[in-house]
Amino acid sequence: MANIHAFHRVITAFLIINTVNAFNALLDVPTWCGKPYMDTTQSLDPGGQFQFPTPQKGPLLSVTIQPRYSIFLESDGSGDFIVDAVISHLFGQPFSNVAGGNSSSDGETTQSATLDFEIHNGEDGALLVSSSVHVNSARNLFNFSLSSFSPRFEPYPISIKGTVSSGQQNYTGTTQIYVLPSRSYGSAVKIDNVYGGLYVQNAFNKWKGWYAIFPNGYYADGGYVTPSNISFTNLDTYAAQGFNSINIVPDGGRPDQSYPTAELATYWDHMDDINLFNIYDMRFTFQNATRVEEEVARWKNRTTLLMWYTANEPDGWSYPLNSTSIAYTQLRTLDPYHPVSLVLNCQNYYYASYASGADIIFQDAYPVAINATYSIKWNTPCNTTYGDCGCDNCVGELTDVSSRLDDFQKYQENIPSSSGGHGGKKPTWSVLQAFGEQDYWKAIPTAKEVENMMMLSVNHGAKGISYWEYPSTNEVNVGSGALGKVFQEELAIGFLLGADPIKGLNVEGGGQEMADASAWVVGERVLVGVANGKHEDSETTVSVSMPRDMNVSSVKVLYGEMGWRVDDGKLVKRGMRRLEVSVLVLT
């Protein structure tokens, strides 16, 4: 809760007094994102800015291997590896294409160069795949049988070794795969390492195969949705509004800052009945290994457990840099069936350290009704070395949300893998502002603003959405549920989890800043998401260009205003309402 979080900011200094200080600020200086924020303190470089790798002059070849999914189950029968062999100036081993003779200045090579490779089980040496890929190709999929792996909780090491045709150099990479015992109770949740979506099996589909899920749900006030006198009324209303996931926030006011176990079990039975997924929140306990073990043992068999959620804004609080990864390692061991998530609040503060402790990274930039340059709460300026304005390094526009997703994705893709290749992606989610009239936030966002931030998030690759905090206003509750339902429907989810968004489609008639538009191409069809950035209605005709010169002729509106048509291969509409959002499928 925002005011709990503000309260904790004040006492942080006392809490960390006995720990080793890895940060730039002195221990007795209260900070947020490493910046002093009280008018009695001085500005200071917070440190922790993301270090992008230095480009090398000569081209490198980055050969990496990943499992298609974060986990496999014995019942899957087979799995896929993702093999990338990408020319890079950042990651990999030196590359000179002796055979083809052409590696031009930007490393583009002749089409003919191939990498011949073998993939082995690093434990018993068994050969799993022997094949080849084009140099400078990514996301090549190679299937393999799971039958040679005995299902177990520990991962198996996997290695790849390749040679470029008639080249001398060997390229190597490693990964690990989980091959877990099949399920007949509880849930299993896997991440698709190509597109970032989540897939589940649980009681709902009787553990037969996997179904896609686009989670959309709030952090919820437990006193409201799970009152101690046991009433399902508010929880049922919540589910009926269209939400398929929830994070019931543990009560920081209780002596052990945790959940009343018997009550939560009663509510969770009901959530199991209606297949409402829980993101189990360990914000107050994840730094205590004993409590993590107890909580996992208690809840890991729940059929609607979606994922573990550990640190809540660890970067804001300057929690120890290793705190998230310590909890992550423990959770992997205790329960490999579920992903681990956390939320980061700072724009650029020790991203790599904190993000190393989760599979899914949430961002929670809250830009509505703030003053981005002057702290309403603390009466100081805010900039990159000082102050807390409630949204770190923000400009105070709805697009702070999409910029933050872009930032996190860019950082993540620039972290090298343990074997030196490009580190790859992690799914990103948004936590959106659905609160206000407190601290830094003068007003509660309108439903239009929240829906616009939802669309901006999805357009910029968010694979799930959460909000702080339920209940919001009735119009925000209803609007975020209604638009979220569209993302969950089979038609949209096939695009959202089946392709990468092509961001920043060209929008004419009002300029690029007028509307943010992305497209997902699957086969002959395109999903388009449009978020109008203007706060006033306009009568101008807007036209959105299709990616890759897709030849589209008809449009179906899944959400938003009617009036869209296809004209000369472009998506066209006369006039846009302020902050209008559209989800469209073109054929």
- Options 326, 478, 550, 558; binder of ligand NAG; rule CB under 6 A: 326
Decide: is 130 part of the binding site for ligand NAG (CB under 6 A): no
Decide: is 129 part of the binding site for ligand NAG (CB under 6 A): no
Q: Which is nearer to ligand NAG, 320 or 421 (CB)?
A: 320
Q: Which is nearer to ligand NAG, 176 or 384 (CB)?
A: 384
Decide: is 587 part of the binding site for ligand NAG (CB under 6 A): no
Decide: is 148 part of the binding site for ligand NAG (CB under 6 A): no
Q: Which is nearer to ligand NAG, 205 or 373 (CB)?
A: 373
Distance of closest approach, residue 21 Cβ to ligand NAG, in angstroms: 8
Q: Which is nearer to ligand NAG, 320 or 533 (CB)?
A: 320
Residue 151 preceded by cis peptide, ω within 30: no
Distance of closest approach, residue 302 Cβ to ligand NAG, in angstroms: 9
Helix (H) or strand (E) holding 541: strand 538-544
User: Between residue 448 and residue 507, which ones bind ligand NAG under the rule CB under 6 A?
Assistant: none
- Options 170, 237, 506, 554; binder of ligand NAG; rule CB under 6 A: 170
Q: Which amino acid is at 473?
A: T
Q: Which is nearer to ligand NAG, 367 or 423 (CB)?
A: 367
Sheet holding 507-508, edge to edge: 507-508, 538-544, 570-576, 565-567
Query: CA nearest 464: which of 341, 546, 365?
Result: 341
Q: Which is nearer to ligand NAG, 421 or 461 (CB)?
A: 421
d(C-alpha 480, C-alpha 457), whole Å: 13
Decide: is 559 part of the binding site for ligand NAG (CB under 6 A): no
Decide: is 20 part of the binding site for ligand NAG (CB under 6 A): yes
Decide: is 137 part of the binding site for ligand NAG (CB under 6 A): no
d(C-alpha 486, C-alpha 208), whole Å: 25
Decide: is 288 part of the binding site for ligand NAG (CB under 6 A): yes
HSE (CB half, 13 Å, CA atoms) of 38?
A: 12
* 576 DSSP β-pair partners: 538
Decide: is 257 part of the binding site for ligand NAG (CB under 6 A): no
Decide: is 184 part of the binding site for ligand NAG (CB under 6 A): no
Q: Which is nearer to ligand NAG, 322 or 446 (CB)?
A: 322
Spell out, one character per residue from 350 to 389, where the chain touches ligand NAG: x when CB under 6 A holds, - when not. ---------------------x-xx------x-xxxx---
Decide: is 143 part of the binding site for ligand NAG (CB under 6 A): yes
Instruction: Please identify which residue in the block is written with the tokens 């939400």.
Output: 243
Q: Cα 356 to chain center, whole Å?
A: 13
User: Pairing mode, if any, of strands 219-221 and 245-249?
Assistant: parallel
d(C-alpha 26, C-alpha 36), whole Å: 10
Q: Tell me the Ramachandran region of residue 43: left when phi exceeds 0, alpha when psi lies from -120 to 50, beta otherwise.
A: beta
- Residues in binding contact with ligand NAG, number by CB under 6 A: 34
How many C-beta atoms surround the C-beta of residue 127 within 10 A?
11
In sequence order, the 6+-apart residues with CB closer than 8 A to the CB of 568 are: none
Distance of closest approach, residue 487 Cβ to ligand NAG, in angstroms: 29
- What are 122's two structure tokens? 């690093």
Q: What is the CA radius of gyration of the chain?
A: 24
Q: Which is nearer to ligand NAG, 539 or 549 (CB)?
A: 549
Distance of closest approach, residue 282 Cβ to ligand NAG, in angstroms: 12
- Options 104, 206, 253, 568; binder of ligand NAG; rule CB under 6 A: 104
- What are 575's two structure tokens? 């006039």
Decide: is 231 part of the binding site for ligand NAG (CB under 6 A): yes
- Options 18, 206, 290, 523; binder of ligand NAG; rule CB under 6 A: 290
* 574 DSSP β-pair partners: 541
Exposure string over 480-493, b if 16+ CB within 10 A, otherwise e: bbebbbbbbeeebb
- Options 3, 51, 78, 148; binder of ligand NAG; rule CB under 6 A: 78
In sequence order, the 6+-apart residues with CB closer than 8 A to the CB of 348 are: 48, 49, 50, 393, 407, 411
Decide: is 229 part of the binding site for ligand NAG (CB under 6 A): yes
3 state SS of 314: helix
The binding site for ligand NAG (CB under 6 A) comprises 19-20, 22, 43, 78, 101-102, 104, 143-145, 168-170, 227, 229, 231, 288, 290-291, 298, 301, 320, 322, 326, 371, 373-374, 381, 383-386, 551
